[in-house]
Amino acid sequence: MFSDYDIYDRQRLRLHCVITLQSPLSHIGEVSGNVSNLKTAKLIDLEGRPRSCFVYSGNALRNGVLRRRGTAAAMDALGLQTSPDVHHTLFAGGRLDRGVGNDMGLDTRIRQLMPWLSVLGTAKPANVFGAAPPQMIHGRIAVGSAYLVCYESAEMIYREFPGLLPPDAVQRLQGYLESRSQLASNPFSPPSEDAAAHFEEVKRLALPYIRKALPTWTEYLTIDQTTRRDSTHDPALQRFLPTPPVGLLAGDQTEGAEGAKKSTQMIASDRLIMAGAKLYSRWDLYTTDVETGWIVDTLLQFAESPYLGGKSNRGNGLVSMDFWYQRGEERGHFLTVATGQSALSESAGKAHNSYCAYLSQYQKFLADAKESDAIRGLLNAQP
């Protein structure tokens, strides 16, 4: 089965993902009372000091965009259902319930029959996929957290994907980093007074300009305060209440001797990253053409409703994504996904065609009762 699919024919591919916010983005790190705070990570800034910066976690991208959406699309296309344990292993990353085994035959079958799981990896519990011992299935993609493009992340963005920064800021940043590097070029002796003075002068001229060209992450903050009013106080809706009221709403409290009803109005405040901001995430792949094609197919599925983060019921989190590839010295545009539209490069289209051909062959094999039983046995699935 799939005799022409070589799971060992893999290539390393780096994708630079640029996320542009079409509406404000919510990605909560912690909640304090009725205020939600955004997720941040620590970075070393240009002056060598630890600074916080907004970050959209790589785990949220990996699981929210790829694992759940892509696995569901593949299972729908194949018309398969699974047992609860397999469902958790496919969609949530699984779990290890005792010491792990190392069944290379199982690893091979999974990579042949479930390229989505080969890409993402999972922790296989005992007695799942027709094998008794638990086992780690190692993934073939590393999805980095998406950092807001701002002053705090400037050096990291410059070293990974400098074209994302304003052109004039890149020149100042390059000069500053070269001067700083020269200052520490010989770690066995302290820098000369002239070298230190030169660096301080470069720093004095460069940093204010870079700060102006690249706002700090907190300057991208916007506050969304919402009020949920007490519906029982709305004259247009009071006709749906008994007359006179027979009691208090569930959860209502009384005040004073007369038992006056306390308002159920609620006020909440959310911090968001403003529309128009950009985030950068690095993805490193070691995949077959079929697996790369599955990633492309999943991103095309995502384009149908490209929302990230929370509060999407209010329209927050609408994004577009641009992917640029790097393979050795070869580099260029790979894929763009946005609301209801997409643009594939030749290499992305080729990989997607490979996956579609694989899926078509898979469907043909599932139509054969004998082969179908073998595959469904691996998935603990039901037709």
Domain boundaries, the chain: 11-145+273-370
Q: For residue 1, what pLDDT is reported?
A: 57
Answer with the residue of higher pLDDT: 231 or 261: 231
Q: Quick one: tokens of 224?
A: 């969304």
* Average pLDDT of span 150-177: 94
353-383 residue pLDDT tens: 999 999 998 888 877 755 555 566 666 554 4
If residue 204 lies in a helix (H) or strand (E), which one and from where to where? helix 193-213
**Sequence-distant (≥ 6) Cβ neighbours of residue 51 within 8 angstroms:** 42, 43, 44, 45, 152
Percent of the residues in the chain that have a pLDDT greater than 90, as a whole number: 53
Lowest mean pLDDT among 49-63, 119-133, 273-287: 119-133
pLDDT above 80 (res 122): yes
pLDDT above 80 (res 148): yes
Q: For residue 101, what pLDDT is reported?
A: 72
- The CA distance from 147 to 244, in Å, is 56
pLDDT above 90 (res 289): yes
316-356 residue pLDDT tens: 899 999 999 999 899 999 999 998 788 999 999 999 999 99
- What three-state secondary structure class fits 250? coil
Parallel/antiparallel/unpaired status of strands 319-327 and 146-148 = unpaired
Mean pLDDT of all residues belonging to the chain: 85
> Across-strand partners of 142?
284
87-120 residue pLDDT tens: 888 888 887 776 677 778 888 888 998 999 999 9
Q: For residue 162, what pLDDT is reported?
A: 94
pLDDT above 50 (res 287): yes
Q: For residue 76, what pLDDT is reported?
A: 92
Q: For residue 383, what pLDDT is reported?
A: 44
Q: For residue 228, what pLDDT is reported?
A: 64
pLDDT above 80 (res 30): no
DSSP-derived secondary structure for 143-187: E--EEE-SSTTHHHHHHH-GGGS-HHHHHHHHHHHHHHHHHTS-T
* Highest mean pLDDT (candidates 98-112, 168-182, 226-240, 301-315): 168-182
* Average pLDDT of span 209-236: 81
At 230, the pLDDT band (50, 70, 90 cuts) reads low
- The CA distance from 157 to 148, in Å, is 9
* Average pLDDT of span 199-209: 92
Q: For residue 382, what pLDDT is reported?
A: 47
**Sequence-distant (≥ 6) Cβ neighbours of residue 23 within 8 angstroms:** 275, 315, 316, 317, 318
pLDDT above 80 (res 250): no
pLDDT above 70 (res 225): no
User: Do residues 335 and 299 lie in contact, with contact meaning Cβ atoms separated by under 8 Å?
Assistant: yes
At 257, the pLDDT band (50, 70, 90 cuts) reads very low
pLDDT above 60 (res 140): yes
Q: Which one-letter DSSP state was computed for residue 379?
A: H
Q: For residue 131, what pLDDT is reported?
A: 67
Residue 25 burial (10 A CB sphere; 0-12, 13-18, 19+): buried
pTM equals: 0.86
Q: For residue 378, what pLDDT is reported?
A: 65
Q: For residue 290, what pLDDT is reported?
A: 96
User: Do residues 306 and 319 lie in contact, with contact meaning Cβ atoms separated by under 8 Å?
Assistant: yes
